Amino acid sequence: MRLPSHEDVLSAHERIAPHIHRTPVLTSTYLNGLAGAELFFKCENFQKGGAFKTRGACNAVFGLPDGRAEKGVATHSSGNHALSLAYAAARRGIPCHVVMPRGAVRAKKEAVLGYGGRVVECDPSYASREAALDRVRKETGADLVHPYDDPRVIAGQATCSRELIDQAGNLDAAIAPIGGGGMVSGTCLALSGEAPGTTIYAAEPEQADDAARSLRAGRIIADDAPETVADGLRAPLKELTWHFVSRHVADILTVSEREIVDATRLVWERMKIVIEPSSAVPVAAILKNTDIFAGRRVGVILTGGNVDLGGLPWARR
C-alpha cells in the first residue's frame, strides 16, 4: 500500500489546475438558520464533469508517463468517476474504457460516450464489475484508475478541501458524503496537513451504512450493491481509504432515504443549485444532528450535480 503524502497533494493541485474549476463556496442564510450553524458549501456540482471526481481522475491521467498513457486508462464506476475519467482522458487524447453497471444513471453513461469514452456494461454486483474490469485491462493494457483505492486519486480529491479552507477560512468541522471513501480520505489528507484543528465527519445513507459499521467494528465491512437513492455512495471502503477514515474521521452519521430526498429538494429550492442525492447526504446529516454542529463553522462538500432531470428523486417516492 503506497500512501499519498501531503507533497503529493501539492503537486496534484499544480498538475490538475489547468483542467479543473476552482469551484465557488456558497452560503445560505436560510440553511444557516435551520442548522443554527455557519455552513460553507463547496460546490463540486459545478466541477468539470459535474463532480469532484474530475480532480482525482485528472491527477491520475496527467501524471502518467507518455509510454503508459498511450494504452489508455480503464475503470469501473457507478457514474461520476466514469465520466470524470473520460473527460480527463479526452483532454489528454488517450483511450478510456469504463465498466458500468446496467442500472447506472442514463445521463452518466451518455456523458462518458459524449467525451469519447467506451462503456462496457456488466451486472450491478461489485464482484461482477471487478471481473469485467479485469477482462478489459487484459485486452487493452490500459492503466487501472480505481475510483478511490488509488493514491493518485486520493491526492487529487484532497485538492477540494485545500481550496475550501482557503476560500472559507478557518473551519471547526468539515463533512462529506462517504461511499468508497475517496473524498473523505482526500479531506483527511489535506486537513490533517493544513488545518489539523478541523474535525472531520462523514455522512452515509442508512441503507448503505457499511462505512459507519466498519468504523464501529474497527475493520472493513463491505456490502454487495446496497440500494439507495444516493447512487454515488454504494461502494465499500478499501485498504487505502480505510487507512484515512479509521485514523481521522470523528464520526460517520447516517440518514434515511426520506431525509436524503428532502435535503436534496431543500438545496434545489433554497440555494437554486442542482445537486445529486449523494451530495445531500451531509446536508441531511447536519440538519439531523444540530447538537453536533450548532454554533460552529462547518465546511460541507457538495460532491456532484449529475442527475437525470427526467426522473426527480421526489417524484419517485
SS3 labels along 87-106: HHHHHHCCCEEEEEECCCCH
φ, ψ of residue 219 to 5 degrees: the values are -155, 160
Exactly one of 125, 217, 247, 314 binds a second copy (CB under 8 A); which one? Answer: 314
Q: Which of residues 190-229 bind a second copy (CB under 8 A)?
A: none
Instruction: Output the smallest distance, CB 167 to a second copy, in A.
Output: 13
Q: Which of residues 154-193 bind a second copy (CB under 8 A)?
A: none
Distance of CA 114 to the CA centre of its chain: 21
Q: Which amino acid is at 100?
A: M
Contact pattern for a second copy over residues 24 through 63, marking x by CB under 8 A: x-x------------------xx---x-------------
Cα distance between residue 303 and residue 78, in whole Å:
14
Bridge partners, residue 51, by sequence = 304
Q: Which three cell numbers stand for residue 72?
A: 489508455
Exactly one of 138, 310, 316, 317 binds a second copy (CB under 8 A); which one? Answer: 310
Q: Measured from the CB atom, is 8 or 257 closer to a second copy?
A: 257
Cα distance between residue 234 and residue 222, in whole Å:
10
Exactly one of 92, 118, 213, 265 binds a second copy (CB under 8 A); which one? Answer: 265
Q: Any contact of residue 274 with a second copy (CB under 8 A)?
A: yes
Cα distance between residue 191 and residue 194, in whole Å:
5
Exactly one of 2, 138, 272, 317 binds a second copy (CB under 8 A); which one? Answer: 272
- Are the C-beta atoms of residues 264 and 294 closer than 8 Å to each other? no
The residues that touch a second copy, with contacts defined as CB under 8 A, are: 24, 26, 45-46, 50, 107, 265, 268-269, 271-275, 305, 309-310, 312, 314-315
